[in-house]
Chains A and B, each alone.
Chain A
């Protein structure tokens, strides 16, 4: 059985859109970070799909770099959340009102 490239790409686009929507709708900072991860990994699925269909290794090894970047971003993000949390027992974006806008 072969699953056509279109299905993989559709999955990737749907995941990316879910991450985007989640980022816009959800207000919890941890969930927003998870949405960013979802978007990065949706791009990873697209990269692997194209690598397979083009028979080129470049797209697959790019995924490893992206995974590392995603991990580093989460580490920094959680560090910042913790440093805010220490001063203010909350992690909701709506309560962040020291800066307007």
Chain B
């Protein structure tokens, strides 16, 4: 803009992107320290800086939240980035995810005898992309943020160079992710051609004041953008990459990707479709219904026949994506609140599950058959309890966060007159409960029997009994007690684990003696060493799941504040 007096630059309000800046600064600092330091920087130091960056980012996003709640949203960078309830919510959730993921990654590397900062760094960078995706108010910014996040994920998936499957997973993710990004970009181009702008506020203004006589371009753009984002959140029929990628990727990275890609993807779906393309609701809503039903059914049914726990969790995450889509399909304030709540509690459940899987998988990260979980309770009771808690929460058993998530989503869908969709969701939840409880049963089954068709042999009667017994014991309730002070819980959980398992192998500094070339899993009957950082992460996830399952009021009030600010007519 060259005026008579010079060039006018738009106001750059860096406060709007402080969470992203904190995370990127953390990653750059780790890189610099690695390059400049005369000594080798281990993963312990980079863990410290990663958690610190995550905490700073969390602080900034809480600060943004505190500013947004009374004063309302504001846009910055010439309208390209917006700070509102949704962006602050995404920033807070992703920051928490980063902290938990860094702890799990650290434990995973410790057990392998590795010590390298790259994994933490990639976690920080991709999280910055995810937060920006929630704050992007311009289609180009959302595309760039999506790519920042995805490229970080590709490298994270390829991180385990000792296993060929990791490279394959990364390549598959890269090719299909690149494909979906290109489809998304073409959708952006068509939307731009139809509305004359890439800024979401401008698009909304244009659509509100004009009636398009020939809306073919815009409809095509909407379809392509929906396909691109459906790929990222692994919704059927664009889900086929997820099981392979989760199975091949390093286990902590898989949990992190499953959580963060869904948070950011659904934030973008809500911002683009529900908020901006509101006038075209009659056109996109049926498409979301169809995708939601397909996702619920395929995710639930195909998970039943999986024999690899990471593939099973991948299909279960597809199933969860269906529940979140159900709230989006309702497109009411209650539906969106339920979706956001679901995606928040889901991220803790899935990372907790993958944290246990990363330990049971052994130093080589290969023991992921369901049979490896037979009798886990005998080997490592605390790990078995933790995984059981995560799984019954995912199944939607009362007194956990997962139950409230499913309840809210289904009741929102029913309230929006999508009764048949709600019925499909309930059926899907019933099917899903079966495969979660199957794993719980395996873990608490007494012996290491031969793996002869054991998965199918479990009868449903005993399964129900096992499921009901789980929420009872004191350990679960205790996990919830100390939650308000996260630090207290962390140390408490870690100590509790340590005292139960004995001494060696558990203290964070000790690391695990078994080298990579040792046996794939732990020898039968031996307990699994739990690194301190993973124990802390598990305590955080379990505490979150139980505490907010018992007292959901705080979170539901929070997501309600987010969604009432989204214009829904």
Contact = CB atoms under 8 A, between A and B. Distances in A.
B189 A43 contact: yes
A88 to B, nearest CB: 7
B154 A80 contact: yes
A23 B175 contact: yes
Nearest to B141: A65
Interface string A68-101: 0100110011011101100110000100101111
A80 B158 contact: yes
Given A47-B189, A96-B168, A99-B247, A36 B175 contact: yes
A66 interface: yes
Interface string B240-261: 1001100110000000000000
B62 interface: no
B298 to A, nearest CB: 13
Interface string A17-56: 0011001000001001100100110110011011001101
A64 to B, nearest CB: 10
Contacts of B140: 58, 62, 65
Contact of A46 (B144, B158, B167, B193): B193
Nearest to A72: B151
Given A43-B188, A80-B155, A87-B167, 18 more contacts: A23-B179, A32-B175, A36-B175, A39-B179, A40-B185, A56-B197, A58-B192, A58-B197, A59-B198, A65-B140, A69-B144, A76-B174, A80-B174, A83-B158, A87-B164, A93-B175, A98-B168, A100-B244
Contacts of A47: 188-189, 192
Interface of A: 9, 12, 16, 19-20, 23, 29, 32-33, 36, 39-40, 42-43, 46-47, 49-50, 53-54, 56, 58-59, 62, 65-66, 69, 72-73, 76-77, 79-81, 83-84, 87-88, 93, 96, 98-101
A33 B174 CA distance: 9
Contact of A84 (B154, B164, B186, B192): B164
Contacts of B171: 29, 77, 80-81, 84, 93, 96
A101 B198 CA distance: 37
B165 A59 contact: no
Closest 9 CB pairs of A and B: A39-B182, A50-B193, A46-B189, A36-B178, A84-B167, A43-B185, A98-B165, A99-B244, A43-B186
Interface size of B as a range: 35 or more
Given A58-B197, A98-B168, A65 B247 contact: no
A41 to B, nearest CB: 9
A47 to B, nearest CB: 5
B161 interface: yes
Interface string B148-159: 000100110010
Contacts of B243: 101
B84 to A, nearest CB: 22
A50 B189 contact: yes
Interface string B188-229: 111011001110000000000000000000000000000000
17 contacts: A9-B193, A16-B182, A36-B179, A39-B183, A39-B186, A46-B190, A54-B192, A59-B189, A65-B144, A66-B143, A72-B147, A76-B174, A79-B155, A83-B161, A84-B171, A93-B175, A99-B172
B169 interface: yes
B170 interface: yes
A16 to B, nearest CB: 6
Interface SS of A by simple majority:
helix
B159 to A, nearest CB: 10
A98 B154 CA distance: 18
Nearest to B190: A46
A88 B164 contact: yes
Which of B154, B158, B181, B182 has the most CB atoms of chain A within a 10 A radius of its CB?
B182
A80 B155 CA distance: 8
Contact of A69 (B147, B175, B248): B147
Interface of B: 140, 143-144, 147, 151, 154-155, 158, 161, 164-165, 167-172, 174-175, 178-179, 181-183, 185-186, 188-190, 192-193, 196-198, 240, 243-244, 247-248
Contact of A59 (B161, B164, B169, B192): B192
A82 to B, nearest CB: 10
A28 B164 CA distance: 18
B182 A40 contact: yes
B562 to A, nearest CB: 28
Nearest to A95: B168
Given A58-B197, A101-B240, A73 B178 contact: yes
Contacts of A53: 193
Contacts of A32: 175
A83 B179 contact: no
Nearest to B167: A84
B241 to A, nearest CB: 9
Contacts of A29: 171, 175
B198 A69 contact: no
Contacts of A87: 164, 167
Contacts of A54: 192-193, 196
Nearest to A29: B171
A43 B167 contact: no
A42 B178 CA distance: 14
A58 B146 CA distance: 19
Nearest to A101: B244
Contacts of A101: 240, 243-244
Nearest to B146: A69
A76 B154 contact: yes
Contacts of B165: 98-99
A33 B175 CA distance: 7
Contacts of B169: 99
A50 to B, nearest CB: 4
Nearest to B173: A80
A81 B147 CA distance: 19
B182 A62 contact: no
A51 to B, nearest CB: 8
Given A76-B155, A80-B171, A50 B192 contact: yes
Nearest to A75: B151
